[in-house]
Amino acid sequence: MTETVKMLRYAAEEFPSEPQVLVKLGYALSMYGWQKFGGRSFTVDGSDYAHEDTEYNAQNTYWQEEVKVFEKVLAMDIPQKDRDMITMMLVEVCAKMGYTEKAKALAFNQASLDVCREVLLTNATDTDEQDKYQGEAIIALLSKMKHVIWRSVMTKISLFTDHVGIDILISLAHFYEAVFSDGRCGEAHNDLTDIYLTAALNEARFGGNIDKAVVYFEKAFDNHKAYENIDHTVEYSYSAPLISKVIVQAKALTPEFKHYWKIHFSGLATDELKQRLMANPKFTECFGE
């Protein structure tokens, strides 16, 4: 990443009006900022919420540069896909660094959910084409709902430390399983992995029922393997009734996918949960490099 950022900075100096160079530089700065400093949050006695450590996060020099680069890019002529991604990243990083008003201004300036592309397309066509767009909207909206519900649970202490929060996550997983009723979830296997893993970690830490935690973990593991075993060199066709007309392009596994358990499990699980899982050869790979 050090060489990548250095190269892109040099390219941005040489081609200051080339938006795609700046787009890639912003992405690289965001990644490097997470790698070098990460983001911190903390709890406060008497508060039910997790608070961003804005004092620490604001010192992240790579995020500071990311904000400047992305603000410059948004003033340029760039594809809508890049504009959407940059806006989402800017809102998140600004909030983490304490630039709350800037984050809210960016968010308020966007279209509402009622007029987003996915929803509008379901009303723009009929028959098979409408069925396709409805399926795509269901998948997209479900993923965004997962993000908001997961975050709502995990930023409120009274939820993530209580069985109520776990029950919400499991109900969300069951909703996913109702939509992908034949078990062929495509990329949604990753969402299910996150949901069940969070439920397992919270149950082991706060719920006290280690047997339930193991059950949830196994569901997370099975979804992780299901996504890994998809042929990622060809397009993927869904087959459950609500989404049977949806076909997505091939998408390779990210480098981080192979290190999922190290990143999201190893440092977060209780010793009791780890010991139970290590006793089962099925989960051996979760404890390797």
Q: Which pLDDT belongs to residue 255?
A: 86
Which pLDDT tens digit goes with each residue over 37-76? 999 999 999 999 989 999 999 999 999 999 999 999 999 9
List CB contacts of 244: < 8 A, sequence separation 6 or more. 131, 135, 238
- Does an H or E element contain 248, and which? strand 247-248
pLDDT digits (tens, 9 = 90+) for 70-96: 999 999 999 999 999 999 999 999 999
Q: What is the pLDDT of residues 228-238, one digit of tens each?
A: 999 999 999 99
Query: What is the Cα–Cα distance from 164 to 184, expressed in whole angstroms?
Result: 28
Q: Please tell me the distance from the alpha carbon of residue 184 to that of residue 150, in angstroms, as a whole number.
A: 22
Check whether 31 has a pLDDT greater than 80. Answer: yes
Is 105 a residue whose pLDDT tops 70? yes
Q: Which residues contact 236 (CB under 8 A, 6 or more apart)?
A: 186, 230, 247, 248, 250
Can you give the pLDDT at residue 288?
77
Q: Calculate mean pLDDT across residues 260-268.
A: 94
pLDDT digits (tens, 9 = 90+) for 128-176: 999 999 999 999 999 999 999 999 999 999 999 999 999 999 999 999 9
**CA atoms of 75 and 82, how far apart (whole Å):** 12
How many Å apart are CA 285 and CA 231, to the nearest integer?
A: 20
- Could you list the beta-strand ranges (E) of 100-234: none
Q: Using a pLDDT cut of 70, give the percent of the chain over it.
A: 100
Tell me the pLDDT of the chain averaged across its residues: 95
Render pLDDT for 165-196 as a digit per residue (tens, 0 to 9): 999 999 999 999 999 999 999 999 999 999 99
Angle between helices 19-36 and 80-96 (to 10 degrees): 30
Report the pLDDT value the prediction gives residue 289, as an integer from 0 to 100: 60
- Give the span between the Cα atoms of 35 and 129, in whole angstroms: 43
Backbone φ and ψ for 106, nearest 5 degrees, come out as -60, -45
Look-up of token digits 């620490």 = 56
Question: What average pLDDT score do residues 243-257 get?
Answer: 94
Q: What are phi and psi of 243, to 5 degrees?
A: -130, 20
